[in-house]
C-alpha cells in the first residue's frame, strides 16, 4: 500500500499534528469568482483552462465516489467455508453505488425495498475567510474560550503575537487555534482550507479559513465555542455552523429508520445495510443463496475493481497516475496467490476469472477467502490503499494539468516554513 502513497506529491492544506515541516502550496484552485478576471487576459485560453479545471473537479468527485463504492463492496464481500457454501446468503443491490448489504446466516430469501432520503453527517464549523499573510484583526495578547462538546466543557487559551520574528499572520493564528482544539478534544478534528479569491478591488488574494469537524456523524457529537476572555471566537466567526450534525434517513421496506451512522442493522431481516449516497428512486436488496450467488458476488467485486482501474486510465489527464500504478503494483505483489486461486492479473489490463476460479470456489473456498480477504489478502491491501487516498487532500491525487492548459500564465506559489504543520487536507 505504501508504494501508492509514498510516490504521490506532498499535500497542500492543513491538518494539525505538531511536527515542523515546510509546506508549499502551488497552483491553487481559482474559484468561480476569479474566472471572470482571468478571462480578460486571453479569452480563448482562459475559457479552455476554466473548462479543464471544472472538469478536473468533477472527475475528482467521481474518484471519491468510486473509491467509497469499491471500499463498501470489499467490506461486504466474504466467501463462506465449504460446509456453509450451499446455504450461504448473499445480498445483491440494484444500486451498489448507493447502498450495499450483508446478509447473515439464514436470512430470508426475499426482495427488500430501500430508499435513502439523506445520509448522516457530522457537524462542521467554519471560520471567516481571511487573507493568509495579514495580521489578525485582534490585539496582541492571550485569548481564552470555552469549547463545549456534548455535556463536557474545557477552557482553551491561545496567544496572539503581532511583533517580532514570531509574529502571527492569519495562517499562523488559525493554525494555533486548530492545534489547541485538537490537543484538548480528541472527538474533533481541525483543518485549514486555502484558496485564491479576488478581493473587493478584484485583486487576487490568498485566503485561509479554519474548519472544525466532529469525527462522528449524527447528533451524538455537537459542539460550540464561547469567548471567556477577549472576542476571538466572535471576531473570527469560529462558532458559525457550516454543516449541522444529523442522522440518516432510510426507508427499509417502507419502514422509516434514522441511524446516527450511515449503516443500519435490521435484525428481523438478518441484514446489515451500508448507506453510500441518497437514492433518487426505490432500490432493491435481493437476498439469494448458494454457490451461484457467491460466485456472482465475487465476479461483481472483481468487475468493480477492473472498472475502477479503467476509470483511472481514462481520466489520467486529471488524476495522478501513481494511484493506478500503485494498484497494479499490488496486483504484481499478490500475483502468485491470485494465480493460485485462478485469477490472472500481472501483464493484463484486468483481473481475469475462469474455470479454475470456479473450481476453487467449490473445492477450496477457504483458500479464496484467505487470498482475497485475510489480513494480508489482496482486497484487504487494496482497501487500505484506497482509504488512505480518500483520507488525504486532493493535491495527493490531482494530476497537474499542463501549463499550456491553465487559464492564467501565472502560477501562485506560497511558502509556509516552520509553521508546526505536518498533515494537510482538502475536501473536494
CA-CA distances (angstroms) from residue 122 to 115, 214, 243? 21, 6, 7
Domain-located, residue 373? yes
Strand partners, 389: none
Q: Are residues 313 and 416 in the same domain?
A: yes
Q: Which domain holds residue 9?
A: 1-86+290-420
pLDDT in tens, 148-196: 998 999 999 999 999 998 899 999 999 999 999 999 999 998 888 888 8
Of 156, 197, 155, nearest to 178 (Cα)?
156
Q: Are residues 237 and 305 in the same domain?
A: no
The whole-angstrom separation of Cα 416 and Cα 396 is: 18
Q: Are residues 214 and 155 in the same domain?
A: yes
- Check if the beta carbon of residue 370 is closer than 8 Å to that of residue 360: no
Who's near 96: CB < 8 A, 6+ residues apart? 69, 72, 73, 300, 304
Which pLDDT score is estimated for 399?
55
The whole-angstrom separation of Cα 362 and Cα 364 is: 6
Q: Are residues 232 and 342 in the same domain?
A: no
Question: Any idea which residue has 508546526 for its cell?
Answer: 420
Q: Are residues 330 and 416 in the same domain?
A: yes
Which pLDDT score is estimated for 317?
85
Question: Any idea which residue has 482538502 for its cell?
Answer: 426
CA angle 338, 344, 346 (to 5 degrees): 95
Which pLDDT score is estimated for 402?
39
The whole-angstrom separation of Cα 325 and Cα 389 is: 13
Q: Are residues 133 and 80 in the same domain?
A: no
Domain of 229, CATH number, reads 2.60.40
Which pLDDT score is estimated for 26?
30
CA angle 59, 63, 69 (to 5 degrees): 140
Domain-located, residue 369? yes
The whole-angstrom separation of Cα 66 and Cα 98 is: 11
Which pLDDT score is estimated for 24?
30
C-alpha 160 chain-centroid distance: 33
Crossing angle (nearest 10°) for helices 355-363 and 365-373: 110
- Check if the beta carbon of residue 397 is closer than 8 Å to that of residue 389: yes
Query: 189, 215, 246: which is the final residue of a domain?
Result: 246
Domain-located, residue 212? yes
Query: 246, 275, 302: which is the final residue of a domain?
Result: 246
Q: Are residues 180 and 299 in the same domain?
A: no
Q: Are residues 330 and 411 in the same domain?
A: yes
Query: 246, 262, 277: which is the final residue of a domain?
Result: 246
Written in H, E and C, the secondary structure of the chain is CHHHHHCCCCCCCEECCCCCCCEEEECCCECHHHHHHHHCCCHHHHHHHHHHHHHHHHHHHHHHHHHHHHHHHHHHCCCCCHHHHHHCEEEEECCCCCEEEEECCCCCCCEEEEEEEECCECCEEECCCEECCCCCCCCCEEEEEEEEECCEEEEEEEEECCCCCCCCCHHHHHHHHHHHHHHHCCCEEEEEEEEEEECCCCCEEEEEEEEEEECCCCCCCCEEEEEEECCHHHHHCCCCEEECCECCEEEECCEEECCCCCEEEEHHHCEEEEECCCCCCCEEEEEEECHHHHHHHHHHHHHHHHHHHHHHHHCCCCECCHHHHHHHHHHHHCHHHHHHCCCECCCCCCCECCHHHHHHHHHCHHHHHHHHHCCCCHHHHHHHHHHHHHCCCHHHCECCCCHHHCCCCCCCEEEECCCCCCECCCCC
Collect the ranges in the chain with pLDDT lower than 70.
Answer: 1-54, 346-348, 391-428
Domain-located, residue 108? no
Domain-located, residue 268? no
The whole-angstrom separation of Cα 359 and Cα 302 is: 17
Domain-located, residue 234? yes
Tell me, yes or no, if the pTM score tops 0.85: no
If one counts the domains in the chain, the total is 2
Q: Are residues 323 and 400 in the same domain?
A: yes
Domain-located, residue 426? no
Who's near 151: CB < 8 A, 6+ residues apart? none
Domain-located, residue 300? yes
Amino acid at each position: 500500500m505504501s508504494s501508492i502513497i509514498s510516490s504521490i506529491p506532498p499535500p497542500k492544506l492543513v491538518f494539525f499534528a505538531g511536527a515542523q515541516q515546510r509546506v508549499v502550496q502551488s497552483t491553487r484552485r481559482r474559484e468561480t469568482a476569479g474566472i471572470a478576471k482571468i478571462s480578460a487576459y486571453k479569452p480563448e485560453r482562459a475559457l479552455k483552462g476554466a473548462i479543464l479545471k471544472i472538469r478536473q473537479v468533477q472527475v475528482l468527485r467521481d474518484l471519491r465516489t468510486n473509491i467509497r463504492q469499491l471500499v463498501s463492496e470489499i467490506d461486504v464481500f466474504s466467501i463462506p467455508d465449504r460446509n456453509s457454501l450451499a446455504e450461504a446468503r448473499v445480498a445483491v443491490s440494484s444500486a451498489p453505488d448507493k447502498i450495499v448489504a450483508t446478509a447473515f446466516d439464514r436470512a430470508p430469501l426475499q426482495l427488500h425495498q430501500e430508499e435513502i432520503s439523506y445520509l448522516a453527517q457530522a457537524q462542521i464549523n467554519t471560520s471567516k475567510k481571511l487573507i493568509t499573510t495579514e495580521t489578525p484583526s485582534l490585539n496582541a495578547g492571550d485569548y481564552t474560550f470555552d469549547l463545549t462538546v456534548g455535556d463536557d466543557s474545557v477552557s482553551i487559551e491561545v496567544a496572539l503575537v503581532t511583533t517580532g520574528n514570531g509574529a502571527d499572520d492569519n495562517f499562523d493564528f488559525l493554525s494555533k487555534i486548530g492545534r489547541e482544539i485538537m490537543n484538548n478534544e480528541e472527538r474533533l478534528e481541525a483543518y485549514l482550507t486555502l484558496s485564491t479569491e479576488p478581493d473587493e478591488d478584484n485583486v487576487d488574494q490568498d485566503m485561509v479559513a479554519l474548519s472544525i469537524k466532529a469525527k462522528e456523524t449524527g447528533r451524538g457529537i455537537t459542539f460550540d465555542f464561547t469567548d471567556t476572555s477577549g472576542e476571538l471566537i466572535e471576531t473570527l466567526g469560529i462558532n458559525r455552523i457550516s454543516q449541522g450534525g444529523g442522522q440518516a434517513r432510510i426507508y427499509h421496506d417502507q419502514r422509516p429508520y434514522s441511524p446516527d451512522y450511515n449503516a443500519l442493522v435490521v435484525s428481523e431481516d438478518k441484514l446489515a445495510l451500508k448507506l453510500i449516497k441518497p437514492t433518487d428512486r426505490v432500490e432493491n436488496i435481493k437476498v439469494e443463496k448458494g454457490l451461484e450467488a457467491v460466485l456472482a458476488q465475487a465476479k461483481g467485486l472483481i468487475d468493480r475493481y477492473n472498472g475502477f482501474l479503467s476509470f483511472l486510465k481514462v481520466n489520467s489527464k486529471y488524476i495522478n497516475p501513481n494511484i493506478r500504478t500503485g494498484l497494479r503494483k499490488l496486483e504484481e505483489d499478490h500475483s502468485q496467490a491470485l494465480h493460485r486461486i485462478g485469477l490472472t492479473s500481472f501483464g493484463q489490463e484486468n483481473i481475469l476469472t475462469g474455470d479454475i476460479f470456479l473450481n476453487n470456489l467449490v473445492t477450496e473456498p477457504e483458500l479464496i477467502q484467505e487470498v482475497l480477504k485475510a489480513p494480508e489478502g489482496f482486497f484487504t491491501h487494496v482497501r487500505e490503499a484506497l482509504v488512505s487516498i480518500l483520507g488525504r487532500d486532493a493535491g495527493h491525487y490531482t494530476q497537474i494539468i499542463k501549463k499550456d492548459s491553465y487559464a492564467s500564465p501565472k502560477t501562485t506559489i506560497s511558502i509556509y516554513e516552520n509553521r508546526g504543520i505536518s498533515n494537510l487536507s482538502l475536501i473536494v
